[in-house]
C-alpha cells in the first residue's frame, strides 16, 4: 500500500479535465455573457492537453497508482483518448447554439465533469472508486438533460434521474455483497478471495455491480431512459449521453469481469445473455421509429449489445480487449457524427431530411457514412469493431451469440435504410432550417474519422493489443 501522494503525473489527463472545469467555473463567474466562449475554449484546451498526456502515458508501462485503486493500462488509455476526443467533438457541435447562452459556462463545466466521471469508471480498480465514478458520470448529466428547461427535457431528466437513482442503489448493494463475500473492495483481493466465498453472495454482488454499469452503458434492462433523453435533451447533450458514459461503463464492466470476478459462476453466461437481449430489444424497437432521435436512441441500445459480446469474451479471447477498444472508438465518432447532422438540420421525422442530397450533398454523404457505419458496413470503423468482437465471441466458444448478433446486424439494415433512401429522393416539402456551420463541420469530421479509422484498422487494433493489469 502506498500513500496518496504517489505519482500524480499518472493522472495528467484527468487533472487536465478537472483543472479546466474548475478554472472555467471561476472564470465564468466574472466573464460577461458575450465572452463566455472563452470557457468553451478552455474546455477544448483541457481536452486537447488530456489527449496528448494520454497518448504519452500509453507509451509507458502499465501500473496501478494511488494505493492500487486506479489502473493505468491499455483499457484506460483507450477510454481516455476516446472520451476526450468525443467531448471535444460535442463541445464543437454545441458551439452554434451555446454561444452567448446565459448558462454557457455551466454547460461546459458539467460536460467536463461528466467526461471525468466516465474516465474514472474506466480506470477504477476498486469498488469504492467505482461508486465515485458512477456518481460523477451521472449527476452532471441529469442537469444537462434538463438544461433547456423545456417540458420534454425536464421530463427526460426526471426519468433519467429516477432510473439512475434506482440502479445506483443496486450498484451499491452489489458492492456491499462483494465486500461481504470477498472481504475487500480492491480487485486483486476480490480475485483472490471470491473463488472460496459463498457462490450465491458473490453472484448477487456481481449482478448488482453489473446492473449499475448497464445503466451507464444504456443496456437492457436499464435502458428505459435512453429514448426519452435522446428525444428530450438538446442535441449535443443527447450525443454526449448516448456515447461518452458507455465508454467508461463498458471498460469498467470488462475490468470487473476479467480482473475482479473471473471466478464467479455464471458471470460470462449472464453477460452474454444480456448482450443478446440488449441488441435484439434495441433493433426490434427501432423498426417502428419515425423520429430520428428515437431511432438513434434504440440504435445505441443495440450497439451496447454488440459491445457486450467483447465483455462476455473477457479473458477467453485475445481479440476481446482490442476489439472492444476499437469498437468504442468507431462507435464514438460515428454516433456523434449522426447526431451532429441532426444538430445541423433539426427534424422531428425521418422524412424531414428527404431530398437532403440535392440540397446539402456533403452533409447527406456524412449522414450516409455514419448510418452505414452503425450497421457495420465496410470500410467504416464499426465494421472492423464488429468483426473483432464477433471473432472474440467465437474464440470464447460463444457461437450462439455470434449467430444472434449476425441476425441482428442484418435486421438492423432495414431501419437505417428507411432514413438513407429518402435522402436521395426529390421532395417539395419545407426543409429544416440549418443551425449553423459548427454541427455540419463536426458531422463531416466525424464521418471522415469513421472512414479513416476503418482504413487504418490493422495498426490501431495491433496497438490496442494487450491485457488489463491484474
User: Look-up: residue for cell 475554449?
Assistant: 41
Give mean pLDDT, residues 192-204.
94
Neighbour count for residue 102 (Cβ, 10 Å)? 8
Is the pLDDT assigned to residue 430 strictly greater than 80? no
Q: How confident is the model at residue 432 (pLDDT cuts 50, 70, 90)?
A: low
Residue 25 CA, distance from chain mean position = 25
Is the pLDDT assigned to residue 19 strictly greater than 90? yes
pLDDT digits (tens, 9 = 90+) for 263-284: 788 899 999 999 999 999 999 9
Residue 436's nearest CA partner among 236, 227, 147, 291 is: 236
Query: CA–CA distance from 265 to each of 43, 148, 202, 249, 340 (Å)?
Result: 44, 46, 9, 22, 43
Q: Dihedral (C-alpha) 266, 271, 275, 281: value to the nearest 10 degrees?
A: 80
Cα gap 382→375, rounded to integer Å: 8
**Axis-axis angle for helices 199-217, 151-182 (nearest 10):** 160
Cα gap 371→70, rounded to integer Å: 36
The DSSP code sequence of 324-344 is HHHHHHHHHHHHHHHHHHHHH
Structure-block grid coordinates of residue 436: 449553423
Is the pLDDT assigned to residue 311 strictly greater than 70? yes
Residues 6+ apart with CB under 8 A from 22: none
Give mean pLDDT, residues 140-161.
95
Q: How confident is the model at residue 67 (pLDDT cuts 50, 70, 90)?
A: confident
250, 262 contact by CB (below 8 A): no
pLDDT for the residue numbered 10: 87
Is the pLDDT assigned to residue 222 strictly greater than 60? yes
pLDDT for the residue numbered 433: 67
Is the pLDDT assigned to residue 53 strictly greater than 70? yes
pLDDT averaged over the chain? 93
257, 191 contact by CB (below 8 A): no
pLDDT digits (tens, 9 = 90+) for 443-468: 999 999 999 999 999 999 988 887 78
pLDDT for the residue numbered 1: 44
pLDDT for the residue numbered 100: 78
Is the pLDDT assigned to residue 7 strictly greater than 80? no
pLDDT for the residue numbered 2: 46
Give mean pLDDT, residues 164-179.
97
Amino acid at each position: 500500500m502506498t500513500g496518496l501522494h504517489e505519482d500524480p503525473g499518472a493522472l495528467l489527463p484527468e487533472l487536465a479535465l478537472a483543472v479546466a472545469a474548475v478554472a472555467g467555473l471561476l472564470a465564468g463567474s466574472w466573464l460577461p455573457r458575450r465572452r463566455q466562449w472563452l470557457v468553451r475554449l478552455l474546455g477544448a484546451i483541457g481536452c486537447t492537453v488530456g489527449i496528448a498526456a494520454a497518448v504519452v502515458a500509453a507509451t509507458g508501462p502499465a501500473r496501478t497508482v494511488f494505493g492500487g485503486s486506479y489502473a493505468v493500462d491499455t483499457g484506460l488509455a483507450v477510454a481516455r483518448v476516446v472520451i476526450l476526443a468525443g467531448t471535444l467533438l460535442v463541445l464543437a457541435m454545441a458551439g452554434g447554439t451555446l454561444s452567448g447562452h446565459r448558462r454557457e459556462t455551466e454547460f461546459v463545466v458539467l460536460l467536463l465533469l461528466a467526461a471525468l466521471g466516465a474516465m474514472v469508471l474506466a480506470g477504477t480498480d476498486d469498488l469504492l472508486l467505482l461508486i465515485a465514478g458512477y456518481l460523477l458520470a451521472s449527476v452532471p448529466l441529469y442537469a444537462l438533460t434538463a438544461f433547456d428547461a423545456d417540458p420534454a427535457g425536464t421530463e427526460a431528466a426526471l426519468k433519467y434521474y429516477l432510473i439512475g437513482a434506482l440502479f445506483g442503489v443496486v450498484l451499491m448493494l452489489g458492492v456491499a455483497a462483494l465486500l461481504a463475500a470477498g472481504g475487500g473492495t480492491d480487485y486483486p483481493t476480490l480475485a483472490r478471495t471470491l473463488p472460496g466465498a459463498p457462490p450465491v453472495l458473490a453472484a448477487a454482488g456481481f449482478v448488482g455491480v453489473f446492473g449499475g454499469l448497464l445503466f451507464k452503458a444504456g443496456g437492457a434492462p436499464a435502458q428505459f431512459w435512453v429514448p426519452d433523453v435522446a428525444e428530450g435533451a438538446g442535441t449535443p447533450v443527447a450525443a454526449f449521453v448516448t456515447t461518452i458514459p458507455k465508454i467508461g461503463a463498458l471498460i469498467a464492466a470488462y475490468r470487473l469481469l476479467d480482473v475482479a470476478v473471473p471466478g464467479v459462476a455464471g458471470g460470462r453466461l449472464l453477460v452474454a445473455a444480456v448482450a443478446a437481449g440488449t441488441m435484439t430489444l434495441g433493433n426490434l424497437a427501432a423498426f417502428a421509429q419515425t423520429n430520428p432521435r428515437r431511432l438513434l436512441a434504440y440504435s445505441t441500445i443495440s450497439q451496447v449489445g454488440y459491445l457486450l459480446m467483447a465483455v462476455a469474451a473477457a479473458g477467453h479471447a485475445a481479440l476481446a480487449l482490442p476489439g472492444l477498444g476499437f469498437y468504442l472508438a468507431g462507435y464514438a465518432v460515428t454516433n456523434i457524427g449522426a447526431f451532429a447532422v441532426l444538430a445541423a438540420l433539426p427534424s422531428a421525422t425521418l422524412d424531414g431530411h428527404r431530398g437532403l442530397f440535392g440540397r446539402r450533398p456533403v452533409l447527406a454523404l456524412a449522414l450516409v457514412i455514419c448510418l452505414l457505419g452503425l450497421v457495420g458496413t465496410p470500410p467504416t470503423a464499426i465494421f472492423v469493431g464488429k468483426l473483432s468482437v464477433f471473432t472474440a465471441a467465437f474464440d470464447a466458444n460463444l457461437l450462439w451469440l455470434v449467430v444472434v448478433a449476425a441476425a441482428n446486424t442484418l435486421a438492423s439494415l432495414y431501419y437505417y435504410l428507411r432514413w438513407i433512401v429518402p435522402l436521395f429522393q426529390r421532395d417539395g416539402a419545407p426543409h429544416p432550417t440549418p443551425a449553423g456551420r459548427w454541427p455540419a463541420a463536426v458531422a463531416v469530421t466525424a464521418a471522415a474519422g469513421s472512414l479513416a479509422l476503418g482504413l487504418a484498422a490493422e495498426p490501431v487494433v495491433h496497438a490496442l493489443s494487450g491485457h488489463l493489469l491484474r
